[in-house]
Chain A
Amino acid sequence: MSIAVRNVVKKFGNFTALDDVSLDVPHGSLVALLGPSGSGKTTLLRIIAGLEGPDGGSVLYHDEDVTHRSPRDRNVGFVFQHYALFRHMTVFENVAFGLRVRRAPKSQVDSRVRELLHLVRLDGFAGRYPPQLSGGQRQRVALARALAVEPGVLLLDEPFGALDAKVRQELRQWLRRFHDEIKVTTLFVTHDQEEAFEVADRVVVMHNGRIEQQGTPQEVFDHPANAFVMDFLGNVNVFQGRIQDGKMHLGNIEMACPEYTNGEARAATAYIRPHELDIDRSPSVASSLRAKVLQINPNGSVAKVRLASEEAALELNVEINLDRYAELGLQPGDLVHVAPRRFRVFFPEDYSI
Chain B
Amino acid sequence: MTHFRIGFLPLVDSVLPIIAHESGIADKHGLSISMIKDPSWATVRDRLIYGQTDAAHLLAPLAIGTSLGLDQTKMTTPLVAPFMLGLNGNAITVSLRVAALMSVDHQSFPDVKQTGIKLAALAKDFAAKGRKLRFAVVHRHSSHNYILRYWLAACGCDPETDVDIIVVPPPFIADALMSGEVDGSCVGEPWSSVAVDRGVGQIIATTAQIWSRGVEKLLAFRKDLLDERREDVEALLRALHEAGRYVSDPANVKDVAEVLARPEYIDQPAVLIARALTNRLTLTRDEAEIPARDFLLLHNEAANFPWRSQAMWLYSQMVRWGHAPGTEAGFAAAADVFRPDVYRSALEGTNAVLPGASAKVEGAIRFPTGAGTVSGRLILGPDSFFDGRNFDPDRPMDYLAAQTQA
Are these two chains actual partners, yes or no?
no
Listed in ascending order, the chain A residues whose CB lies under 8 Å from chain B are none
**Residues of B that sit less than 8 Å from A by CB:** none
